[in-house]
C-alpha cells in the first residue's frame, strides 16, 4: 500500500467511525474497538502492499487464517470479521470501492458459550462481605467501601452494563429514586427499578459523600453517582472489576468467576429462575434482540439437567 493510499484508508476509517457515532449512537468503547479491529486489517493490507480498492475474498480469508494461527479465539475473530463487514459495506455505499470482498466470507465456527453465573447464595456472600467491610472500615476506606456496596447492590438489582453503571449521572436519582432512566446502547432509553436494599445503600453512600466535604467528589466528578478522582470523574470499569475480584477472594469465592458482567448474568438468570417473563428481562437488560436474552434459558436448562443427573436415583449407576 502506498503512503497516499494508507492515508486514504485512515481517512475512510475515521469517516466510518463518525458515521457510527452520529447515526447509530455508538459508545466510546465501541468506537475504540472498531478502530482497533479495522486498523489491524488496514495494517495487514499495508504489509501485503494492497489497498482497500483491490482487496479480494482470498485476501480476507488469508487474513482470518493468520488470526487463527496467532491464537485469537473464535469469538474474537468473529467480532473482527463483523466490524470489517460493516466497514466494507460502508465503503461500497460511499462508492469508495466497487465490490464487497467480505460478502460471502464464512466466519469461524463457534460453540455457543453459556454465561458464567453466580448462585443466589454466592451473591448473598458477596453482599454480606461488602457490608462487613463498611462496618470495619476507617478513614478514607469508609467511603470506598460504601461505594462498592452501593455499586454491587445497584448492579444486582438492575443488571446494568458496567459502563452504564459506573457512568450514571447523579440526576438519575431525580424523582422518587425508585426507578432509574438508563441511556444504553444506540441511545436507547429504558427504565429499571431499584430494590429496597439498593436504594438504602445508595442513600447512605450519597449522604456520606456530602458529609465528607468532597474527598471523593470534586469538580466535574460531582456530576456522577459514583464519583472518583480518576480522569473520567467516576469509578472506572477496570477499578470496579478489580475491587470485585478482591471482594470475592475475601468472601471465599473464586475471583476468576466474579466480575461486573457475571453479576449482570446473575441478575437475569435469577429473575428467570423465579418465573420472570423473558420479554421483561430483555427490556431490563436493554437487549435489542430477544435472541440475546434467550441464552439465559439455556443456562436454566443446563442447571435442571445437572440437578436431575446428580439427584435422580435412576441417573446414578447401580
What is the number of H-type helices and E-type strands within the chain?
13, 2
Q: Is the pLDDT of residue 253 over 70?
A: yes
- Which residue among 85, 183, 185, 245 is the active-site one? 185
296 assigned to active site: yes
Domains located in the chain, CATH noted: 3-93 (1.10.150), 120-308 (1.10.443.10)
Pair 183, 193: CB distance under 8 Å: no
Q: How many residues does the chain have?
A: 318
- Which residue among 287, 303, 305, 316 is the active-site one? 287
Considering just the CA atoms, what is the radius of gyration of the chain in Å? 23
Q: Is the pLDDT of residue 248 over 60?
A: yes
Q: Does residue 59 sit in helix, strand or coil? A: helix
Higher-scoring residue by pLDDT: 306, 153: 153
- pLDDT confidence of residue 1: 42
- Which residue among 161, 234, 237, 270 is the active-site one? 161
- Which residue among 170, 183, 261, 303 is the active-site one? 261
Pair 263, 120: CB distance under 8 Å: no
- pLDDT confidence of residue 181: 84
Higher-scoring residue by pLDDT: 116, 101: 101
DSSP bridge partners of 227:
234
Among 116, 128, 119, residue whose Cα is nearest residue 270: 119
- What is the rounded average pLDDT of the residues 243-272? 90
End-to-end CA distance of the chain: 69
- pLDDT confidence of residue 310: 55
Q: Is the pLDDT of residue 36 over 70?
A: yes
pTM: 0.61
Element holding 52 (H helix, E strand): none
261 assigned to active site: yes
Among 181, 180, 168, residue whose Cα is nearest residue 237: 168
The alpha carbon of residue 224 and the mean position of all alpha carbons in its chain are separated, in whole angstroms, by 19
Amino acid at each position: 500500500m502506498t503512503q497516499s493510499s494508507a492515508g486514504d484508508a485512515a481517512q475512510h476509517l475515521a469517516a466510518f467511525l463518525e458515521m457510527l457515532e452520529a447515526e447509530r449512537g455508538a459508545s466510546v468503547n465501541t468506537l475504540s474497538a472498531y478502530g482497533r479491529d479495522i486498523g489491524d486489517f488496514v495494517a495487514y493490507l499495508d504489509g501485503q502492499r494492497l489497498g482497500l480498492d483491490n482487496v479480494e475474498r482470498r485476501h480476507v480469508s488469508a487474513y482470518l487464517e493468520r488470526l487463527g494461527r496467532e491464537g485469537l479465539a473464535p469469538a474474537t475473530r468473529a467480532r473482527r470479521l463483523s466490524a470489517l463487514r460493516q466497514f466494507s459495506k460502508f465503503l461500497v455505499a460511499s462508492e469508495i470501492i466497487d465490490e464487497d470482498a467480505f460478502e460471502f466470507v464464512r466466519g469461524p465456527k463457534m460453540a455457543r458459550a453459556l454465561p458464567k453465573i453466580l448462585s443466589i447464595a454466592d451473591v448473598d456472600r458477596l453482599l454480606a462481605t461488602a457490608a462487613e467491610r463498611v462496618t470495619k472500615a476507617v478513614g478514607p476506606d469508609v467511603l470506598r467501601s460504601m461505594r462498592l456496596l452501593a455499586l454491587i447492590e445497584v448492579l444486582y438489582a438492575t443488571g446494568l452494563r458496567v459502563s452504564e453503571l459506573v457512568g450514571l449521572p447523579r440526576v438519575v436519582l431525580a424523582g422518587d429514586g425508585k426507578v432509574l432512566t438508563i441511556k444504553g446502547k444506540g441511545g436507547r432509553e429504558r427504565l429499571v427499578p431499584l430494590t429496597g436494599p439498593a436504594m438504602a445503600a445508595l442513600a447512605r453512600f450519597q449522604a456520606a459523600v456530602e458529609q465528607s466535604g468532597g474527598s471523593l467528589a470534586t469538580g466535574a466528578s460531582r456530576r456522577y453517582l459514583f464519583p472518583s478522582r480518576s480522569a473520567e470523574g467516576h469509578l472506572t470499569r477496570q477499578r470496579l472489576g478489580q475491587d470485585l475480584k478482591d471482594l470475592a477472594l475475601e468472601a471465599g469465592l473464586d475471583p476468576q468467576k466474579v466480575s461486573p458482567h457475571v453479576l449482570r448474568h446473575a441478575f437475569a438468570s435469577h429473575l428467570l429462575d423465579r418465573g420472570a417473563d423473558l420479554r421483561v428481562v430483555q427490556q431490563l437488560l436493554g437487549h435489542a434482540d430477544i435472541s440475546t436474552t434467550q441464552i439465559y434459558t439455556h443456562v436454566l436448562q443446563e442447571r435442571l439437567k445437572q440437578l436431575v443427573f446428580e439427584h435422580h436415583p435412576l441417573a446414578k449407576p447401580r
